[in-house]
Structure 1
Amino acid sequence: MEEVRELKEVLERVEGKLIAAGKIYAAINFAFWLLVMAIYYVVIGLTELPGWANGLYWGSAVVVAIFFIGKVWGRFVKLYRAVEKGGEIGRAWILPIVASWMIGSVIGWGIIPRTSMAVNETARLAVGFLTFIGISLLGQWLVLTGGHWREREMIPSFLLPLLAVPIAWKMENGAIVWAGFVVTVGFTATVLLYLYSAFRAIER
């Protein structure tokens, strides 16, 4: 019985470390985009970027994200395989998540800016940005959790932007900057919650 109990404790510790690694990976993902947004706001504070430069910046950010976050994901997969003795992580969630971001992009950047909603063009851009982030991450969360009450750490990242939409709708000045700070707060809260969950998993 003593050996069984010790084995159970070892397995629980290993499982805790694996869970912690997954939480840390998620935190790195959001922290990366926090850095990208921060750099963007530093740049536009110094000079106004034309449309092509905005596209180039965010396109480059996506490419870097695929490379950097992909490498982190690769390390997590190696850890998972080592712990689970050759186990594999399913990839069925990839296409639905991509679809979620595509839907968010179409609504946030394609439809909303072309309407007459909100008080002015800047407010429409802010509403579009918040809607893009909110819908995309809400869809991603639903895909990852299957609609169950898991990955609660991620909720601030989409809930705060969605709640901020009615406020940005009525802002006559500074709406897009304010929207950026709202997203920053949501992402920061998500990072902190993921890191907290990681420490709790390690302490199991």
Structure 2
Amino acid sequence: MSESLSNSVSMSESLSNSVSMSESLSNSVSMSESMSNSVSMSESLSNSVSMSESLSNSVSMSESLSNSVSMSESLSNSVSMSESLSNSVSMSESLSNSVSMSESLSNSVSMSESLSNSVSMSESLSNSVSMSESLSNSVSMSESLSNSVSMSESLSNSVSMSESLSNSVSMSESLSNSVSMSESLSNSVSMSESLSNSVSMSESLSNSVSMSESMSNS
């Protein structure tokens, strides 16, 4: 269950080659109430290799404006209830090759209420490979402003209730080839209330390889 009142401006320019491999065994219950004003500005020239094994809660957020093929096999019972009042402007230029592989066996309850004005501007030159295997019990209440092309084979019982008042402008220039495959065994519960104003500006030239294995109860 999430209620979020947020004004967010995210501007990012990134030249990156990224490979992310993650395996997570996690039971996560996250309840958070946050009132925050955050300004993050970062410029980084970095080559990074991060390998981590952690007993942790994991949140993966990814934007891709790309030609995307998402192949997912999911055995899921899902109830999604969302109420969103949002004005969204997304401007992105991306040159990216991305491969994401995931498999998911999940029981998910996602309840989200979002009052948000979001402006996301991103320029990215990136080659990315993301491979994730997650065994997680998570209760997640999440917001997502996303454009998705998805091809899925699913054995699912789904109840979706959505009320949305939204004005959306999406401008995207993308030269990209992307394959997304995901495997996840997850039960998730997440409750978050956030009152936040966030401005994030980042310029990064980075080659990153991230490999993570996480087992967590939270």
Is the pair's TM-score, using the shorter chain for normalization, greater than 0.5? Answer: no
Larger helix share, 1 or 2: 1
Instruction: Select the structure of larger CA radius of gyration.
Output: 1
The structure, 1 or 2, with the larger RCO (C-alpha pairs under 8 Å, 6+ apart) is: 2
Shorter-chain TM range is under 0.3
Q: What is the TM-score of this pair, normalised by structure 1?
A: 0.20
User: TM-score normalized by structure 2?
Assistant: 0.19
